Structure 1
Amino acid sequence: MIHTTFPATPAAAPPRGVLASLSLAMLLSSLGTSIANVGLPTLAQAFGASFQQVQWVVLAYLLTITTAVVSVGRLGDLLGRRRLLLAGIAVFTAASVLCALAPTLWLLIAARAVQGLGAAVMMALTMALVADAVPPARTGSAMGLLGTMSAVGTALGPTLGGGLLAAWGWPALFFVNLPLGAAALWLARCHLPADREREGAQRPRFDIAGTALLAATLAAYALAMTLGRGQWGTLNAALLAGAALGLALFIGAQRRAEQHGAAPLVPLALFFKGPALGAGFAMGALVTTVVMATLVVGPFYLSGALGLAAPQVGLAMSCGPLVSALAGVPAGRLVDRMGTQRTTLAGLIAMATGSAALALLPAGFGVAGYVLPLAVVTAGYALFQAANNTAVMAATALQPQQRGVVSGLLNLSRNLGLVTGASAMGAVFAWGAGGQGVVAAQPGAVAAGMQATFGVAAVLVVGALGIALAWGGRRHRAASRSA
């Protein structure tokens, strides 16, 4: 007899235990990114490697997440989200130990890729499991909590990593995941609802060809955006062209799979039956590009134009993750009270206002002119993220068997925004600074680059706002016709 897995009923697990296990899984995946960054100089010295070589310790993790997050979300739909999340936490924890014990840099990079696979599972399935296990009236609050834990992991990484490096050396950056991963595994086993087995239905086959095409496409795009550190060349253009070709081949393969009655990796019908999905993915990619701009451009502006020392730069930059962490849960509660449409618009308006202020205020108001608009941008992002994630996952209410792949697509849109923001917004900054080397640029040139970057950022957020308004109008007209 062939079995198909479906999520158990929400009553199968106490909500607090569910949220605790999913929150710790989300924290681990975000901590895995930020904690390694602070150790790159130490790793370069320990392995006698260049910066270009040790940066693959970070890139291997991010590239694996980007290429695998949709596929593992789909696997969760087919095999059972609870059991795959448990496997993902175990892989992440075991790979962390391998990272700490790696005798060479290239073995460390390979272990980081495996760690990224575990992180992709955790990222893809946490939001899907929230939709499975948390009542709809509390989904916004739960999404806000996950956003908070992601921000906490990002903010905690540099501080925790610095302390671990000073006390025990670079292996401690990865050994710290052993107790945290064990705790996450225990909580998930105890509290997540079991995958329910239904007999009599044939399980769709996993789309191996679509998975390979999508992974190659995403890898080509991510490499095009990251190689050369913002300096475009022939290789970047070739990779970008390869990504465009791969996307066309992937869409064709998914259409053929649907026409022949097979189960595609990404059902294209999702984007036509539920306009909320396409709108949510597009808006997520745009606003995450803007958030990444604050991380890429901020340090250069604070040090180059305002003349702050490294500790002061770090303190000013910590404002963003701190506000995001504090705003996540209140933002989720606002979503539950006000609905997703109004809170999405409010978050985007705040981001557009903060981005415009970042382009105009710092030159006249110094550090305060940077920190206060940054707080507005990150608070708006926390509100948008909670609302958008809730709206997109709610759009799968009639197709709960597709929540894993939809959650994976949400995370993919975020990661694509991050890699695009790091490259494209960095290029805008360099262009605005007059094309000179940013490190050696004069304060006035750095300030001009800052204005250009966040002028473009404000335009991107306004574009996302236009998508939100069009989506809301379409939904309103549909509701009027059905009435």
Structure 2
Amino acid sequence: MQTSTVTPAARGALAALSLATLLPALGASIANIGVPAIAASLQAPFKQVQWVVLAYLLAVTALSVNAGRLGDRLGRRRLLLAGIALFAVASLLCALATSLPLLVAARIVQGAGAAVMLALAMAMAAGAVSRQRAGSAMGLLGSMSALGTTLGPALGGLLLARYGWPSLFLVNLPLAALALLLAWRYLPEDRQAPSVQPAHLALRIESALAAGLLASALVSTVMMTTLVVGPFYLARGLQLGSTTSGLVLALGPLAAALCGVPAGRLVDRHGAQRMLKAGLLCAVLACLALALLPASLSVAAYALPLVLLTAGYALFQAANNTAMMMGVAAGRRGSVAGAMSLSRNLGLVAGASVMAGLFALAAGGDVTTAPGEAVARGMHAAFAVAAVVLLAALAIARRGGQPHKMTLP
């Protein structure tokens, strides 16, 4: 597409790619709420049932890069169609599983389909619109991912109460069918795109990609910190009930869902590098506010920086994704998108392990039994370190240059 106008075909393609982004996020978030019911139904210990969640995440993490490379070599459209179909079939197998090993095996297959969708949806979105609207496309996919994360617990709770745990997987079938239909109808046929580049350009691109991927991993580490620290601080530090805590925690994904598209438009208007820095600065200020937050303040004093942090993340993500996708030749976008998915997942793992350990250490040990003052102290320490991590991401991103402005052969 040579103009900045979005054609009906492009809208249909973006709708298909949006669903292909929503489904993996929904598949990850909706299963968590069903773990206790699955344990009771299949008569399995809780520690073993946790593999229903872990198997999916590990499959996505392990296969994302290879899925992107396969798309570049074999054709993204046909592989994306196969990934959506695989995800749907695996979802049905999950619902029909009569034992925990069968369910875990089906979740691995489902994660393989999700890895394909995550890697190729972003790569194909970059080519579905003009360069002038690339940021909007990236922002839309970011909103859909956040929407899937937000929708999972709420929709899962309703389905679980009425239809039982198999419905948590059956709900994917109509969405996958719609995604498959739209992708078949609107995504363009695969075309071989040459990706040969002069050596000096290739070196600059690899340096810029490395910076973008590392920055993405660091920012994802901080975002996972909010999910690790938040429940304990709200419950023990502010003495909130589970319902109120859940509503406060939902503000983050909700803010990301609402900010994704506006963030993408800002990227289109003001440039990826400028908005990338603005997003990171917003996130740094939010983490500093949380690190210095007096324990005596109300829940609003925690919620407002949380929303600012998530909005900054949405702006960073739209800008960083746009810079990396538009900074490489079309024939390499699948591989790069797979690497981006891997970097985010590694950041989430680091947040769940390293930052969680730091939080517990600063709180004096077991945060499930620590007094409110100790949990607040741990929260302050975790977000102080998070601010430093984000400053490091900002420094790395600034040194990475501006790959989206380069003209590639």
Could you state the TM-score of these two structures normalised by the residue count of structure 2?
0.94
1:305 corresponds in structure 2 to: 237
1:113 corresponds in structure 2 to: 108
Q: Does 1:381 align with 2:376?
A: no
Q: Is the 8 A contact 2:293 2:380 kept in 1?
A: no
1:63 corresponds in structure 2 to: 58
Shift of residue 405 of structure 1? 0.3
Equivalent of 2:11 in 9, 12, 16: 16
Shift of residue 459 of structure 1? 0.5
Shift of residue 470 of structure 1? 2.2
Q: Distance in 1 between matches of 2:257 and 2:31?
A: 20
Q: Quick check: 114-123 or 272-281, which moved more? A: 272-281
1:457 corresponds in structure 2 to: 386
Q: Is the 8 A contact 1:297 1:426 kept in 2?
A: yes
Q: Is the 8 A contact 2:327 2:403 kept in 1?
A: no
Q: Distance in 1 between matches of 2:99 and 2:205?
A: 50
Structure 2, gaps ≥5 residues long: none
Cα RMSD over matched residues?
A: 2.3
Q: Distance in 1 between matches of 2:403 and 2:125?
A: 24
Q: Is the 8 A contact 1:70 1:409 kept in 2?
A: yes
Identity %: 59
Shift of residue 51 of structure 1? 1.8
- In the TM superposition, 1:18-417 aligns within 5 A as 18-196=13-191, 272-361=204-293, 363-396=295-328, 399-417=329-347
Q: Distance in 2 between matches of 1:271 and 1:292?
A: 32
Q: 1:362 to 1:17 in 2, by over 3 A?
A: farther
Shift of residue 392 of structure 1? 0.4
Q: Does 1:424 align with 2:354?
A: yes
Q: Distance in 2 between matches of 1:163 and 1:412?
A: 31
Q: Does 1:444 align with 2:376?
A: no
Q: Does 1:466 align with 2:395?
A: yes
Structure with larger Rg: 1
Q: Distance in 2 between matches of 1:53 and 1:276?
A: 41
Q: Is the 8 A contact 2:71 2:120 kept in 1?
A: yes
Shift of residue 467 of structure 1? 1.2
Could you say what secondary structure the match of 2:191 adopts?
strand
Q: Is the 8 A contact 1:13 1:191 kept in 2?
A: no
Structure 1 runs, 4 residues or longer, greater than 6 Å off = 9-13
Shift of residue 197 of structure 1? 5.7
Deviations 1:283-307 (A, max 9, x none): 0000000000001110011001111
Could you say what secondary structure the match of 1:49 adopts?
coil
Deviations 1:140-181 (A, max 9, x none): 001000000000000000000000001100000001111111
Q: Is the 8 A contact 1:271 1:278 kept in 2?
A: no
Q: Which amino acid aligns with 1:45?
A: A
Deviations 1:232-287 (A, max 9, x none): xxxxxxxxxxxxxxxxxxxxxxxxxxxxxxxxxxx9x9565443211110100000
Q: Distance in 1 between matches of 2:403 and 2:103?
A: 49
Shift of residue 22 of structure 1? 0.3
Q: Which amino acid aligns with 1:34?
A: S
Q: Which amino acid aligns with 1:147?
A: G
Q: Distance in 2 between matches of 1:312 and 1:130?
A: 37
Shift of residue 106 of structure 1? 1.0
Aligned length in residues:
401
Deviations 1:53-104 (A, max 9, x none): 1110010000000000000100000000000000000000000000000000
Shift of residue 364 of structure 1? 3.5
Q: Which amino acid aligns with 1:159?
A: A
Could you say what secondary structure the match of 2:368 adopts?
coil
Q: Is the 8 A contact 1:362 1:370 kept in 2?
A: no
Q: Distance in 2 between matches of 1:148 and 1:347?
A: 15
1:252 corresponds in structure 2 to: none
Could you say what secondary structure the match of 1:441 adopts?
coil
Shift of residue 132 of structure 1? 1.9
Q: Quick check: 437-446 or 355-364, which moved more? A: 355-364
Q: Quick check: 64-73 or 126-135, which moved more? A: 126-135
Q: 1:328 to 1:197 in 2, by over 3 A?
A: closer
Shift of residue 196 of structure 1? 2.5
1:245 corresponds in structure 2 to: none
Could you say what secondary structure the match of 2:188 adopts?
coil
Could you state the TM-score of these two structures normalised by the residue count of structure 1?
0.80
Q: Quick check: 125-134 or 180-189, which moved more? A: 125-134
Q: Which amino acid aligns with 1:321?
A: P
Q: Distance in 1 between matches of 2:100 and 2:113?
A: 20
Q: Is the 8 A contact 1:283 1:464 kept in 2?
A: yes
Q: Distance in 2 between matches of 1:386 and 1:378?
A: 12
Shift of residue 12 of structure 1? 9.8
Q: Is the 8 A contact 1:362 1:368 kept in 2?
A: no
Could you say what secondary structure the match of 1:195 adopts?
coil
Structure 1, gaps ≥5 residues long: 1-6, 205-266
1:208 corresponds in structure 2 to: none
Q: 1:305 to 1:197 in 2, by over 3 A?
A: closer
Q: Is the 8 A contact 2:205 2:403 kept in 1?
A: no
